[in-house]
Amino acid sequence: EAGVTQFPSHSVIEKGQTVTLRCDPISGHDNLYWYRRVMGKEIKFLLHFVKESKQDESGMPNNRFLAERTGGTYSTLKVQPAELEDSGVYFCASSLSRTEAFFGQGTRLTVV
């Protein structure tokens, strides 16, 4: 069974550009979460989808971040325009229940 897959694994963009991260959850997992780890700090929650609906987006840092989950399958996280402080590792996780989440390998975003 395929795990959570994230694309790309690395992305380097210039300040002001747009970047879109993609997450393919484990098939059948209704819950999908985005997290971010910035500058070696703790991993912080960004938002939670249940199927295609945003259940909790309290962790989204500002309106430059837009997350979507088309048809309740894969999800995208767009940063537009990117700023230097957006650099970090973005993790996606999926789960059947809310008690155990499986993580992808993360996307390392570097804004220069």
Q: How many angstroms separate the CA atoms of 72 and 53, rounded?
A: 8
Q: How far apart are CA 31 and CA 82, in angstroms?
A: 27
Minimum gap (Å) between residue 43 Cβ and other proteins: 4
User: In the complex, which residues of this chain contact other proteins (CB under 8 A)?
Assistant: 9, 31, 33, 35, 40-45, 48, 55-56, 59, 89, 91, 93, 95, 97-106, 108
Nearer to other proteins, 16 or 96 (CB): 96
Angle, alpha carbons 17-24-90 (nearest 5°)? 45
Nearer to other proteins, 13 or 89 (CB): 89
DSSP 18: -
Least CB distance to other proteins at residue 98 (A): 3
Residue closer to other proteins, measured from CB, 5 or 81: 5
